[in-house]
Every structure is written in C-alpha cells, then in structure tokens.
Amino acid sequence: MDKSPLLFFQITLFLLIQSLLATSHPIPVTVSVTDFGAAGDGIRYDTSSIQSAIDSCPSSVPCRVIFPAPGKYLTATVFLRSGVVLNVETGATILGGARLEDYPKESSRWYVVLAENATDVGIEGGGVVDGQAEKFVVRYDPRKNIMVSWNQSGACLGDECRPRLIGFLGCRNVSLSNITLNQPAYWCLHLVRSENISIKDIAIYGDLNIPNNDGIDIEDSNNTVITGCHIDTGDDAICPKSSTGPVYNLTVTNCWIRSKSSAIKFGSASWFDFKHFVFDNITIVDSHRGLAFQIRDGGNVSDIVFSNINISTRYYDPLWWGRAEPIYVTTCPRDSTSKEASISNVHFINITANSENGIFLSGSKRGLLRNLSFINMNITYRRFTSYAGGLFDYRPGCQELVKHKTAGMMMEHIEGLEVRNVEMRWENNELEDWNNPMEFRPSTVNNIYFSNFNSVLYSNSKSS
C-alpha cells in the first residue's frame, strides 16, 4: 500500500522521459532484412523482404535497415524512405538485378537503390552495392565494350539505356559513408536536385572499358561535401552537371581517381550555373583528362579552386573523349542553337602533372575564360603510349577533333590570365614536333601576366 505512490511516481517519470526522448531525441530503430525473410544467397530475389523491412520503419524516427554479413542480397529496385539508412555490413552485398522487369516503368527511375523526395537518408556499413555490369555487356571490345540497350523494348532511346546504381532525387540531408560501389552498369552515384549531401570514405570500382561508367554525378544539387574517395572507372569520375537548375557549393577533398575519361569534369550538361567549388588534396592517375570543363549549353562557371593536386594523364583510344590534357577548360557552344557562357575566377594552385599532352584553354567569342590563374605548377611532358598525338579535342560538338601540334599551354578567347611559378619540362622526343611551350591566338587573348615561368627540354637517355 505504501509502495503505490512511489510506483505511480516512477511510472510518471518513466513516461515523462519517454515522451521527452520521443520528441527531442527519437530513439533510432534497427531492423534486419533477414527478419523479413531475406535469403542473401545471391540467387533468389530478396526484393520484397528488403522493401518490407524498409516499410516497417516507423515514420519520423531514424531507422537503420541492416543487411547482415555474410550475404548477397539480389534485388529489384530498392526504394528508400525518409529517415531510413541502409547499413550494409562489411561482407554483405546488395546485388542489382539485370532484368528490365527489375526496374520501374519510367527509365528516369532505373536505379538499384533509389530515394525520391526523401530527407535524412543514406547508406553506410562497410559493405558493397554491386550493379553487375558484366551482365550488360553484349560484346567485349578492347577499345570500348558494346553494351545492352533496353531501347529495344521502347523504354528509352539510344545506347545509354540501362540502369544506374544509386539515385538520390529531390532529397535533403543525404549521407553516404564507408561503402563500396561496384560495377555499375551505367552511371554509379547520381545526386539530382538534392541538398546537403555528405559523401565520406567511399570507393567506386567501375569498368575501364564500359562507356558511361561515371563515378559520382552531382546534378542540379547544392551543398555537397565529398571527402575520402577512391574512384576507378571508365567514364568521368566526379562530374557536376546542370540540367534543370544550378550547382552551388561542392567541396571534394582527399581523393584518389583514375578514369578513362575525365577525373573531374564540369558538364557537358551545362544549362545552369556552377558556383563556389573547392577541390583539394587529390591524386589523379592514368586518366584521359585531369581537371576538365566542357561547358556547352549557356551555364556560367565561377569561383572554383583546385589545390594540391597531382595529375598523370595519358592517351587512350580516341573513341573516348580526352587527349591526355592535365587541364582542359572550354566553353565552345555545343551546336548552332546553344548559348555561350563564361568561366571566371578559376584558380589552380600547387599542381604537379605528368602528361602526354598540354593544358588546353579555349573560350569562345561570347564565352570568354576570365581571370584564370596557374600558381606553383610543375608539368612534365613525356610521351609513353604509342597513340598518335597532335590533335585538339573540342568534343562534344564545336570543331570536334582538329589536327594541331602539341602545345604546353594552348590559349584562345581569354580575358585575364596569371601564370606564376610554373615550370614545364619536356622529355626529348624524336617522334613528333614537341617542346612548344605556348600557343596562343593573340588577338583573342588579353591581359596576361607571366612571372617566374620556365620551360626546359631534358634528356632521359641512360647513356650519358
């Protein structure tokens, strides 16, 4: 009898704490896909178990959906919801289906994992998401593989008609960390019309011979931070694009990249502006291009810094865009109906490059390159593949490929260029016309400043 007031007090206190926790710090919920019947054998489809686990998450409470290791969870499209984070454990894999019926009707929604209009969503846990790209190869080709196109069914047109790996469309508060993305059949990680995105410690392993095998495409999205990434892929590795809106505030640090196209590329979809980007502490190896701008559709670019970046670029088959340029900045209009836009305030600081070709800076009449600076750079020009050099590559559109001898820095349509503490070293090369440090179209280049600039030929012959 004398206990009941205390008990009543305890229950009241307990309920009070519960309600406080529920409102200010909701207790995260954890569910496992195996509790919903997922087999994880890589053979049976686990689609409905995975989706039931996600849909069992209470709304407005953070929820982790665990994919336990070991296990290979074969699935059709997985739809993420607000508040849900997929936790793919180290040793577990989400395996994307390779059949047309595994994906939604609209080709714009073809992803293995898809979040639409969701907030507080992500993927983490140390495991893998795999797109099974090899199942989409029609014919292996050492120059560039031929891929399946689901256009036969009328689902979409052309040869870029197959599923991407992961999509966040119209999302807020997106977080990906500690995850490996393997073998996307098409683009890998696609961020669209989203905001506040954190990507940390991720690895992407695409296929060097698969076209459109992009790493991370940041499209019409703001406030994205990428740090700690390892990207090895056929097509562009980090690729901001603008199709329906601008891209503001992108920061990329501490990354290693190899690409058979551009390691970092702006465009070519470039209908709106790109503004306020920082790229720092990045290693780029064996890529067809290093830092590239393919601005073609009228969106302006401004306030971009690249610092502390080591680049090695090389030639690959010209079926792939790129001609071993360590830095490539262009604004030529895609076609006669395209608008021209400018690129301004772009700074390259502390850059080391080893390349088979030179820096290419090509504005256009109404799309000037304004206020570019190159500060503290060492560039070594050395030919080591047997692909032919001597081509300027304006693709897509514009003048396409133009025969022209290699130049250390090619410049046209520029207003404001500073080159300070820059050294070019040319390996003696009898194969082609070489050691041509500067090539500029003087009447289109104005207000240039050179300070402490050097260019030297060196010999690498072992018999001194």
Ligand X SMILES: *[C@@H]1O[C@H](CO)[C@@H](O)[C@H](O)[C@H]1NC(C)=O
Pick the stretch among 5-13, 281-289, 328-336, 440-448 that binds ligand X (CB under 6 A): 281-289
Q: What one-letter code names the amino acid at 72? A: K
Distance (Å, whole) CA 377 – CA 291: 14
Is 286 an interacting residue with respect to ligand X (CB under 6 A)?
Answer: no
Site size with ligand X, rule: CB under 6 A? 53
Count of Cβ atoms closer than 10 Å to residue 26 Cβ: 14
Q: What one-letter code names the amino acid at 393? A: D
Is 195 an interacting residue with respect to ligand X (CB under 6 A)?
Answer: yes
Contacts to ligand X from residues 140-159, by CB under 6 A:
149, 151, 157-159
How far CA 88 is from CA of 75, 127, 167, 179, in Å, comes to 14, 5, 17, 8
Among 32, 34, 52, 223, binds ligand X (CB under 6 A): 223
Pick the stretch among 33-41, 42-50, 182-190, 375-383 that binds ligand X (CB under 6 A): 375-383
DSSP bridge pairs for 225: 198, 251
- Which DSSP category does 358 fall into? -
**Residue 262 or 270 having the CB closest to ligand X:** 270
**Residue 151 or 373 having the CB closest to ligand X:** 151
Is 420 an interacting residue with respect to ligand X (CB under 6 A)?
Answer: no
**In 3D, which of 153, 148, 256, 242 has the Cα closest to residue 192?**
242
Which three-class secondary structure state does DSSP give residue 7? Answer: helix
Tokens of 56: 């069992």
**What is the Cα 271 distance to its own chain's centre?**
18
Among 120, 130, 214, 232, binds ligand X (CB under 6 A): 120
What phi and psi values does residue 29 have, to the nearest 5 degrees? Answer: -105, 145
Among 243, 254, 373, 435, binds ligand X (CB under 6 A): 254
Is 272 an interacting residue with respect to ligand X (CB under 6 A)?
Answer: yes
**186, 215 Cβ separation under 8 angstroms:** no
**Residue 133 or 391 having the CB closest to ligand X:** 133
Is 91 an interacting residue with respect to ligand X (CB under 6 A)?
Answer: no
Smallest distance, ligand X to C-beta of residue 250, A:
10
**Residue 114 or 292 having the CB closest to ligand X:** 114
Is 117 an interacting residue with respect to ligand X (CB under 6 A)?
Answer: yes
DSSP bridge pairs for 447: none
**In 3D, which of 230, 219, 160 has the Cα closest to residue 193?**
219
Is 5 an interacting residue with respect to ligand X (CB under 6 A)?
Answer: no
Smallest distance, ligand X to C-beta of residue 200, A:
8
Tokens of 171: 């999302």
Is 435 an interacting residue with respect to ligand X (CB under 6 A)?
Answer: no
Residue 55, phi-psi category: left (phi > 0), alpha (psi -120 to 50), beta (remainder): alpha
Is 251 an interacting residue with respect to ligand X (CB under 6 A)?
Answer: no
Is 350 an interacting residue with respect to ligand X (CB under 6 A)?
Answer: yes
Is 376 an interacting residue with respect to ligand X (CB under 6 A)?
Answer: yes
**Residue 107 or 300 having the CB closest to ligand X:** 300
Query: Distance from first CA to last CA of the chain, Å, rounded?
Result: 104
Is 193 an interacting residue with respect to ligand X (CB under 6 A)?
Answer: yes
Among 298, 333, 363, 437, binds ligand X (CB under 6 A): 298
Is 248 an interacting residue with respect to ligand X (CB under 6 A)?
Answer: yes
**Residue 77 or 183 having the CB closest to ligand X:** 77
Is 273 an interacting residue with respect to ligand X (CB under 6 A)?
Answer: yes
Smallest distance, ligand X to C-beta of residue 457, A:
15
Residues 6+ apart with CB under 8 A from 110: 77, 103, 104, 162, 163, 164
**273, 245 Cβ separation under 8 angstroms:** no
Pick the stretch among 9-17, 45-53, 168-176, 383-391 that binds ligand X (CB under 6 A): 168-176
Pick the stretch among 49-57, 207-215, 243-251, 447-455 that binds ligand X (CB under 6 A): 243-251
How far CA 224 is from CA of 154, 252, 273, 355, 441, in Å, comes to 35, 8, 15, 30, 37
Residue 394, phi-psi category: left (phi > 0), alpha (psi -120 to 50), beta (remainder): alpha
DSSP bridge pairs for 45: 74
Q: For binding to ligand X (CB under 6 A), which residues are involved?
A: 90, 116-117, 119-120, 125-126, 149, 151, 157-159, 170, 172-173, 175, 178, 193-196, 198, 201, 220-223, 245-246, 248-249, 254, 256, 272-273, 276, 281-283, 298-300, 307-308, 310, 341, 349-350, 352, 376-378, 423
